[in-house]
Structure 1
Amino acid sequence: MTTLALFAGFYAVIAGMNGDFIAGAIAIFVAMVFDGLDGRIARMTNSSSAFGAEYDSLADMVSFGLAPALLIYQWMLSDFGKLGWLIAFVFTAGAALRLARFNTQVGVADKRYFQGLPSPAAAAVLAGLVWMVEVNQIETGFEASFALFVTLATGLLMVSNVRYSSFKELNLKDKVPFVTLLLIVLVVVVVTLKPSVILFAAAFLYALSGVVMTVFRLRQTQEQRKKAKASSVSTETEPTDNSNS
């Protein structure tokens, strides 16, 4: 499964070099599918190993670090010259640093959250953008500038301290309720209607969710500090009873 994910990422690079941007974008999503399967299959077959974990990280670097950056550079960022490939490099470097940090935090970090935007999600944003614009033939004149901004933003989010939900608290090992199965079918149906638009929107909203939650938590922390400070001040200024009994 890991080798198939690596092959899909490599194919995305070749497709981008040949100008077949839709195939390259789809290949990155295919790599995400295989990347999600390899770990689960390893745990189901009790074949997890340190070698497999390192191999998976190297494959992720190609499929979700190098391939999306080269694809979007060939697609739009090449119009910006040196700035374009520098921004693409920021994305690639962000993915490498994100994967290195993830490997050093295994077993230590809270499994409910990811620190920084996961590299597959960042790759999905870029691949989804390319796929959506190409399939729907969107021509607004702002595609290149938006691609430049999104590439830089996702690259920086990968190395940020913004927390993202890992959805690992969802327990799919027990019996799955019928309503859950129905929702899964509905999601698949909705995605098949406009896969490029839906997948890009889902990846973009996930990338945005971490920023929104971080801002919300910061505001909550500031309000709690203000309340604590106000209560401490009121306690200090409270008049003492000096009357004699």
Structure 2
Amino acid sequence: MKKHIPNALTLLNLFSGSVAVILAVNDNLVSAAFFVFLGIFFDFFDGFAARKLNVSSELGLQLDSLSDMVTSGLVPGIVMYKLLELSIPAWNDLDAMETTGYGFSNLEFEMLLPFFGLLITLGSAYRLAKFNIDTEQQSFFKGLPTPANTILILGLPLILEYQNNDFINSIILNKWFLIGLTILSCYLLNMSMKLFALKFKDFRFKGNAMRYVFLILSLVFMVVLKYIAIPVIILFYIIMSVIDNSTSK
């Protein structure tokens, strides 16, 4: 019976991600974000349960990757698509556009622009495929894990909804900022730099000091900065990994 517990948690991750897809497609980005975070919660504990119960299996590994592709691959791509829609005036003022002179009108060009956000889905798929065939990534990651990248992207609608800062909102809803973030996201997912993994074999402080420091400071950031803390935490994660790499050398 216990061998099915990790797979059940993985399927709950997939279920949460599937609900998030439906919500995101229907422009309910905030609710989609919360279901994604729920899926990432299940994703965190399925591997931990498999290790503690000593029931790791090839089926579980494949199921985990497939579930991540939905929750941490498809959903952030759709959310970026929707954010790019919001950032483009053409979607609200169809008569205000002028021709570019290249055979396409600005309207046609800008209506295609949101599809650029789906590069995040492609970058996530490539990153997961590399992870599946890489035997080195047991205690660390190469590149930003898809759940961390998803938290970065899904944090944007939460900042828009709850932070109530017009200056920050204007940055987030700038199409060039979103395009730049999409490109950066794809790079972070597939860069070769080692990042420490939040995988606990046990809960003792010894051997998990870096993880505990990161989690405690992340909690402090959330209390002080609220939802703006989300991109700060991702940046902090990368910086701590750089420090960890330097000290280990």
Tell me whether the two structures share a fold, i.e. TM-score over 0.5: yes
Q: How far off its partner does 1:53 sit?
A: 0.5
Paired residue for 1:105? 134
1:152 aligns with 2:183: yes
Q: How far off its partner does 1:186 sit?
A: 8.0
Q: How does 1:1-245 map to 2 (within 5 A)?
A: 1-77=9-85, 79=88, 80-85=110-115, 87-106=116-135, 109=136, 111-140=138-167, 141-143=170-172, 144=174, 145-167=176-198, 172-174=202-204, 188=219, 191=222, 195-207=226-238
Q: TM-score, normalised by structure 2?
A: 0.71
CA-to-aligned-CA distance 1:160-215 (integer Å, 9 cap, x gap): 212222255x7644477xx99999778657635654222332124335666x669x
- Identity percentage over the alignment? 27
CA-to-aligned-CA distance 1:211-238 (integer Å, 9 cap, x gap): x669x97xxxxxxxxxxxxxxxxxxxxx
Q: List gaps (5 residues or longer) in structure 2.
A: 1-8, 89-109
Contact 1:2 1:34 in 2 (8 A): yes
* SS in structure 1 at match of 2:195: strand
CA RMSD of aligned residues (A): 3.4
- In structure 2, distance between residues paired with 1:18 and 1:91: 19
Query: Which has the larger displacement, 35-44 or 135-144?
Result: 135-144
Q: How far off its partner does 1:149 sit?
A: 1.6
Q: TM-score, normalised by structure 1?
A: 0.72
Alignment: residue pair count: 210
- In structure 1, distance between residues paired with 2:225 and 2:38: 17
Amino acid at match of 1:114: F
Higher Cα radius of gyration: 1
